[in-house]
Structure 1
Amino acid sequence: MKSTLKKLLPFAVVGVISGATTVGVQQYFGHTSNNEDGSYFTTSKNVSFAGMNTSAVGDDFVAAAKTTVPAVVTIKNYQTKTSSRASEQDMFDFFFGDPTGRNQRQRQQQAPDNMPSGLGSGVIISPDGYIISNNHVVAGASKLEVVLSNKKSYIATLVGTDPNTDISLLKIEEKGLPYLNFANSDNLEVGQWVLAVGNPLGLNSTVTAGIISAKGRGIGILGGQGKAANPIESFIQTDAAINPGNSGGALVNVNGDLIGINSAISSTNGYYQGYGFAVPANLARKIVEDIKKFGIVQRGFLGVSSLDLSDDRQVAAYNAEKKTNLKVGSGIYVTSVTDDSGAQNAGIRTGDIITKIDNIAITDFADLSMSVGSKRPGDKVVVTYLRNGKENTSTVTLKDQKGGTSTRSKADLSVTEKIGSDFDPLSERIKTDYGLNSGVVAKNVTEGSEIAKIGIVDGYIVLEINGKPVNSQKDIERILDKYQGNVQVKFVDDYGRIYTKGFKMP
């Protein structure tokens, strides 16, 4: 076992994380500012849009802002004194690297009980108090406080999260709240005016304007940080200014309709440099509908491993490894097909190049992940693909990762799915090195899961569950099957330190 050291990236994509916006955020970031005077804000008078009727545009923006601001809330993330600030630290490591040579997730954050560990934004999407935000805004929280634009405060219930799309759903007990309607994000056009509304850098109810710069962007932030096992990245790119604290806020059109949930920025210094990214409304709406109806996200899969032909680096690496001569271009090259998957059953083979899903062009992996990942098990999609230069079509019935074609609820989940981790048996070498007689290694730990909340990450060794030694995943399934109540977990971290912590079985 060893801790993973993240590399310093020249052009890192940094999530607009709620944890970065702590109380005293201006002072904190002032110490790391690239500006000699420590400032981040400039003002300018008589600014206008070149070559445009500014009064007409302004009127549109005023109406949209009046509709949006009351429906955008502040979310305060409170964490226990001993909780690990994994979400924040991992994000910073992704950009800055780890100068100490140790994984930052090992550090413990001490925070007063009455002080939030981080601030973010959220959007009210129904009059009875459902609120959509980002997964990273609520990650690791022991308590979530929602503050409306009128300063009224509520303690929120976390209904569910989805790390694969960075979406979360919260609920407060209230009626008659202002809310935003979802727009059809498939109809968005590059160049269209938009507003971003949120609470950047502790500045409540901030509205910024810009345009849609691009659609279907895959920026590698979700899967790249190991937080999502099957990330869906097909972001709306905008030049409307967003900064830390905007996460979970609204991206709206000039009618005040919700077209996206602001999630990330592309920056060399962690602050706005012209490139912001939002989860499209159609995907966000599907995620929250799943969470409300089933308690979990329903995700369909084609059942293929693939290569993005638009990525010249991926193609070059694949050619070098496989001794092939694939050409850079448009589409998704199928590198393997899962047995008994929807793709195999529909006749799709290794070497096929997927070019369309339901007659919509698939130019890169972001297009594919959005087209398929926004569907549920049992849904059918028409796949157009090239085989030996000839175009073919097949209808594929999507399946879940266990091969099923029906939707599932929380009650249908296995024990390890409920607690959020898989487990591998210990090798004899590790048992000898650590002097252990039992144990399993955690892997594929889901962000925000019960296992993650008590500090377990990939590579940690779980020794006992409820005082009983475990040597396999089946042992854990057996001990916790139909179990209700508090679960006690004894585990070992990367440094050989032993902890005993607990959680309530979901």
Structure 2
Amino acid sequence: MKTATKTLLALTLAAAFGGFVATAMRDALQAPAGASPPAVAAAPVAAALAPATVGALPAAVDGKPLPSLAPMLARVTPAVVSVHTKQRVRVSPFGNDPMFQRMFPELTQERINESLGSGVIVDAGRGYILTNHHVIEGADEVSVTLSDGRTLSADFVGSDADTDIAVMQIAARDLNALPLASADTLQVGDFVVAVGNPFGIGQTVTSGIVSAVGRSGLRGLGYQNFIQTDASINPGNSGGALVNLNGELVGINTASFNPRGSMAGNIGLSFAIPIGLARSIMEQLISNDGVVIRGTIGIEAQAVTARLAQGLGLGDARGALVNRVYSGSAAAAAGVQVGDVIVAADGQRIDDPASLRNFEGLQPVGKRVALDIRRDGKPLQVTVAIREQPRTLAGGELDERLQGAVFTELPARLRQAGASGVLVESVANGSRAAQNGLRAGDVVIGANSGRFDDLPGFRASFTRPPAQLVFRVVRGGRPGNLPIR
């Protein structure tokens, strides 16, 4: 009994000291140095708590051992890695002005930006690691540290900014991989555990429940179908594992929501990408040379206002009002018409064009989808087969001023570096596009026709082409405005 009491007292002292250190770290960040209380204050606290905890943590109850996550985590944690990235940036007292940088090159210095994240080994034989796109975005060098202490250089396989999924590969033996859950069967209330490397302090485990599934509508993020959990996911946890109690990977930790920033502490709003979506993107990145092939039904749509809803005979001002059906598209083949209002897709509520675009972007090519439509105020259901989004676009289809130009998606290397927009793949000699000054290799990052990040968005921005069209173009690393007449 004396030995057990001493052991519990020692554990309690350690716990109290750990809490004291955490408080001291927080205070050091929020108050001047030297304001932290002296370390000796921890001893009386531990001494006061020790008698109350003696005997409170039995090894077994009624002959049965207390439940613990430790056996499951012993299998899981070796598959979760720390991701370390380096990015070389040029810093000048003149900012990004290229003229002054050329005039005073001696004042321009190279700086290394470093960041930390997490990743999950999902294929031990081939060394594939799943992580977030934003963890490795723009990185010049990426290395991973395994749970056994080995640090290895990682090769970039591909990434998808819209779903925030990236795949890396390492060459090593004796790797441990996490089994993937067979399907996205999580329910609200299921227990989950998050594993990662928050704030770079080392591998950390947090637990909680599933707060919601199918979460979308978060500002600033791409295609969304998140698992929401109250398990703590802090900076550095991104790309780590969300597992069920069987030790299966059910999600990739990606973000936490806290309007006051990370220093405000965890408020129980964390998000993870479901494994079904992550697996689909990973398989595409591996098999398609780092490219994701997205599907579309082939329409353009606008929001339903209260006035439009009244005119269309709708009870609610919601849905995606079809204002254009592309010829040869899946929607055209299914009989979708201009004026139809799409209110649901495969049973998923569609409130506006953004939610329809989110739904489309997450569907595999070839899948048959049931659309619930309101036509002339009456309900109708049609089935469409998702078709591949076009990867190139003829400028003449958008606007006659762009005749002769061909636009395509940005290559993976540019998207990995954080670029958005569309690439001018080619320009025919003597064409109107050539006369307007467009050149092959130009990157169109903006236009007064509307906001866009990719090729589908670029096409959608020309629903109502402006009378005076101006492109924002990056050429040779320098941005400029290009009037299109």
TM-score category of the 2 structures, normalised to the smaller one: 0.5 to 0.7
Asked whether the 8 Å contact 1:442–1:460 carries over to 2, the reply is yes
Measured after TM superposition, the shift of residue 367 of structure 1 is 6.9
Asked if structure 2 preserves the Cα contact closer than 8 Å seen for 1:215 and 1:237, the reply is yes
User: Structure 1: where are the runs of 5+ without partners?
Assistant: 1-25, 85-107, 224-230, 308-313, 405-412, 425-436, 448-457, 464-488, 495-506
Percent identity between matched residues is 32
Equivalent of residue 148 in structure 1, options 146, 149, 159: 146
Matched, 1:187 2:185: yes
Structure 1 counterpart of 2:458: none
Distance 1:382 1:207, change over 3 A: same
Question: Structure 2 CA distance, aligned partners of 1:215 and 1:75?
Answer: 27
Per-residue CA distance 1:373-393 (angstroms, 9 max, x = gap) = 333333332323333454322
When residues 267 and 350 of structure 1 are mapped into structure 2, their CA distance, relative to the original with a 3 A threshold, is farther
Paired position in structure 1 for 2:428: none
Q: 2:172 matched to 1:174? A: yes
Aligned counterpart, 1:334: 321
Q: How does 1:368-447 map to 2 (within 5 A)?
A: 368=356, 371-402=359-390, 417-418=410-411, 421-422=421-422, 442-443=444-445
The Cα shift of 1:68 comes to: 1.7
* Structure 1 residue 361, shift from structure 2 partner: 3.5
**Kindly tell me: are residues 81 and 118 of structure 1, through their superposed partners in 2, closer, same or farther at Cα, counting changes over 3 Å?**
same
CA apart distance, 1:66: 1.9
Which structure 2 residues correspond to residues 197-208 of structure 1 after superposition, within 5 A? 197-208=195-206
Change (3 A) 1:392 1:175: farther
CA shift for structure 1 position 346: 1.0
Q: TM-score, normalised by structure 2?
A: 0.64
Give the deviation of 1:155 after TM superposition.
0.5
Q: Aligned to 2:345, which of 340, 357, 380?
A: 357
- Give the CA deviation at 1:249: 0.6
CA distance in 2, matches of 1:38, 1:68: 37
Point out which structure has higher relative CO (alpha carbons under 8 A, 6+ apart). Answer: 1
CA RMSD of aligned residues (A): 4.4
- Structure 1 residue 159 displacement after superposition: 0.3
Distance 1:344 1:63 in 2: 55
Aligned counterpart for 2:249 among listed residues 221, 242, 258: 258
Find the aligned partners of 2:35 and 2:319 in 1 and give their Cα distance. Answer: 48
| SS in structure 2 of the partner of residue 118 of structure 1 | strand
Structure index of larger Rg:
2
Give the corresponding residue for 1:98: none
- CA deviations 1:358-415 (Å, max 9, x no partner) are 4x333556875565333333333232333345432222122233289xxxxxxxx977
1:470 — aligned with what? none
Report deviation, 1:218. 1.4
Runs of 4+ aligned residues of structure 1 deviating over 6 Å after TM superposition are 26-30, 36-39, 43-46, 55-58, 320-323, 325-328, 444-447
* 1:346 aligns to 2:314 (yes or no): no
SS at match of 1:195: strand
- Return the structure number with greater strand share: 2
Tell me which amino acid in the other structure corresponds to 2:326: D
Question: Aligned equivalents of 2:360 and 2:245: distance in 1?
Answer: 29
Shift of 1:352: 3.3
Tell whether 2:162 aligns with 1:164.
yes
- Residue of structure 2 equivalent to 1:73: 81
Write the letter of the residue equivalent to 1:203: I
Q: Output the CA distance in 2 between the equivalents of 1:442 and 1:251.
A: 38
Specify the SS of the correspondent of 2:271: strand
SS of 1:349 mapped into structure 2: coil
- Other-structure match for 1:475: none
Where do 5+ consecutive residues of structure 2 fail to align? 1-23, 38-44, 93-107, 393-405, 416-420, 425-436, 447-451, 455-469
Cα deviation code 1:114-135 (max 9, x no counterpart): xx61000001101121000000
How far apart are residue 149 of structure 1 and its match? 1.1
Aligned pair 1:304/2:302, yes or no?
no
TM-score (norm: length of structure 1)? 0.61
Could you list the per-position Cα deviations for residues 92-147 of structure 1 after superposition, in whole angstroms to 9, with x for gaps in the alignment? xxxxxxxxxxxxxxxx99645xxx61000001101121000000000110000011
